[in-house]
Amino acid sequence: MGLIVQKFGGSSVANAERVMNVADIVTSTYKEGNDVVVVVSAQGDTTDDLIAKAEEINPGASKREMDMLLTAGEQISASLLAMAIEKLGYPVVSLLGWQAGFLTSSAYSSARIKTLRPERIRKELDKKHIVVVTGFQGVNRYNDMTTLGRGGSDTSAVAIAAVMRADRCQIFTDVEGVYTADPRKVPGARKLDAITYDEMLELATLGAQVLNNRSVEMAKKYGVELEVISSLTRAKGTIVKEDCKMEKMLISGVAKDDKVARFSIIGVPDRPGLAFKIFSKLGAKNVNVDIILQSIGRNGTKDISFTVAKEHMQTTLDILTPYVEQLGATSLVYDDQVAKVSIVGAGMESHPGVAAQMFEALFESNINIRMISTSEIKISVLIDIADADRAVTAIHSKFFTPDVVGQ
């Protein structure tokens, strides 16, 4: 029939019962006449547990040794799943990332895939084997094990699907697809039948945890059709592809990211080049800046505010604290008790007033907006973290009512 790549996250292989359930899904796909490549993540909280063990031994362990440790999680999942498939009577082989042909950069803990040479995978498929590959990992030019960062198993799966021109890449998770909001927190959240790459990429970047944003970027680049689907219910999932008929939808979803921090540099001299100097220093340390707001100059100065991921907060402080005086600025202030709430949708381009509706929902819930950022298919606001869940619910209710959806 075709080549299907299936990726299973940690919750899908969390225990023996779920591993056997995954084996049943995989073998059912194989019985339909498909070649099947499976990519697995570490079981449940294995990665977090391994990190905790490392902290007990050496809180300052090198990233190289951390990668050596963390790759063990996926190896356990791959071998256990292969054993389960063997038990069901099907031919199978498990491969580590390097055996599957993943060659990466040497940025331990956040490596990038430089090339994928899938000859071994092809040989095993030619033998009619189901191939189980460890996600999240590869090997660099020094033959050291590397990891691709959080969510890297999604990227591994899409890379295989792209290089091998798979008919579909299925991302199995513990939810039934992509929803208009987190269904575990917003009861009225609706599952989408389809969503565009651009919309999915925005949602993934803005805090929706269904897909890793790097994997969506790669899928768009190479035209890999994705399906987000539940490994627990096996209900029809959500297709992520280039074009979707979404004309009747103002927005596709509401996302929340509470792992952000806001910085403000107060009293920056109002002269050319200082913004460049500030953000180039952050960029040199791989700190990504998101929302940026610059005040109108007054008394020869201006204020520059921006957000970064909370994990980069200390790095940002270390970089900018000694630099404020050199800039001639008054002070540096920061706040990590904030959250970014966003709406995403291609329909916003052709429907005026979407921002007003979002702001109205926040006003009606007495939620104050600190910063605003917009693009053609996205509007994000920065608010107090204590208001984040209420904001998502209020915005979702404003847009996803029968009258609005049917516009």
Residues within the annotated binding site for substrate? 47, 74
Find all residues with CB under 8 Å of 301, minimum gap 6, and list them.
267, 268, 269, 270, 329, 330
Binding site, residues?
7-10, 47, 74, 173-174, 179, 184
Amino acid letter, residue 351: H
d(CA 129, CA 91): 5
Rounded distance between C-alpha atoms, residue 373 and residue 201, angstroms:
16
Look up residue 107 and give its amino acid: A
Torsion of CA 231, 232, 238, 242, to 10 degrees: -10
Longest dimension (CA), the chain: 78
Give me the residue label for tokens 């005086």: 325
Contact 160, 166 (CB under 8 A): yes
- The Cα–Cα gap between 231 and 38 comes to 13
Looking at residue 85, its amino acid is: I
- Rounded to whole angstroms, how far apart are CA atoms 155 and 153? 5
Name the binding residues for ATP.
7-10, 173-174, 179, 184
